[in-house]
Chain A
């Protein structure tokens, strides 16, 4: 699964740690999601969408 997390984060000038703190996850998790090593669960994907105020499909898409 592809995602725009890195771009969205950069637009807000957030570091991975900033985003991790806002999502209440580890920085490792943010890094793993951004680099495609890990696809988040649906609840976490919803939290990410809520944080960026975007629909999930505008953040995550199929390969």
Chain B
């Protein structure tokens, strides 16, 4: 996305920063209290949910940016980026799932799917750059 230039992009950056701060704090708390065995039962489940919900906050921020972005061209770029990220994530996760099921690759924890999506957003940005640069020049 580059340097945020409009209010929707600034709100997105703020939301992602808050979500990531929550993620770091709740992950540390979950590892310490649930992983260490100090918290058990329903409170442990609640605490263990928090890091994942924090990451979901980033997905929500992406969704809000899609809704709040007023510049139609930038919104199109973002839609393309998210489509590439979604397709990449679903493809890699599905293929890995079959390979894992057939015991051809090691088990990977499901939360890495979020990492794939963020990587996919980067790929989507590259896709936009590669497919739109120079197109239409000379008209």
Are chains A and B native binding partners rather than an unrelated pairing? yes
> Using a CB–CB distance below 8 Å, which chain A residues touch chain B?
2, 24-26, 28-29, 32-33, 35-38, 40-41, 44
Q: Which residue of B lies closest to A6 (CB)?
A: B139
Contact of A2 among B5, B72, B74, B139 (CB under 8 A): B139
Contact assessment for A41 and B72 in the assembled complex, using a CB-CB cutoff below 8 Å: yes
Interface contacts (Cβ under 8 Å), in number, total: 37
B135 and A36 contact, CB distance less than 8 A: yes
B136 is contacted by which of A24, A28, A36, A41 (Cβ under 8 Å)? A36
**Interface flag for B109 (CB, 8 Å):** no
Can you name the residue of chain B whose Cβ is closest to the Cβ of A25? B71
Q: A2-B139, A26-B5, A26-B6 are in contact. Are A32 and B71 (CB under 8 A)?
A: no
Closest Cβ of chain B to A10, distance in Å, is 15
Give bound CA distance, A29 to B132, whole Å.
Answer: 12
Residue B56, interface by CB 8 Å: no
Q: Can you name the residue of chain A whose Cβ is closest to the Cβ of B139?
A: A36
Nearest B residue to A40 via CB reads B72
A33–B135 alpha-carbon span in the complex (Å): 11
Decide: B136 and A25 in contact? CB cutoff 8 A: no
Smallest CB separation, B100 vs chain A (Å):
41
B5 touching A38, Cβ below 8 Å: no
The answer for the CA separation of A32 and B74 in the assembled complex, in Å, is 10
Cross-chain contact A38 with B139 (CB below 8 angstroms): no
> Would you call B73 an interface residue if the criterion is a C-beta within 8 Å of the partner chain's C-beta atoms?
yes
Given contacts A32-B132, A37-B132, contact A26 B139 (CB under 8 A): no
How far is A38 from B131 in the complex, measured between Cα atoms in Å?
12
Query: Contact: A38 with B137, CB < 8 Å?
Result: no
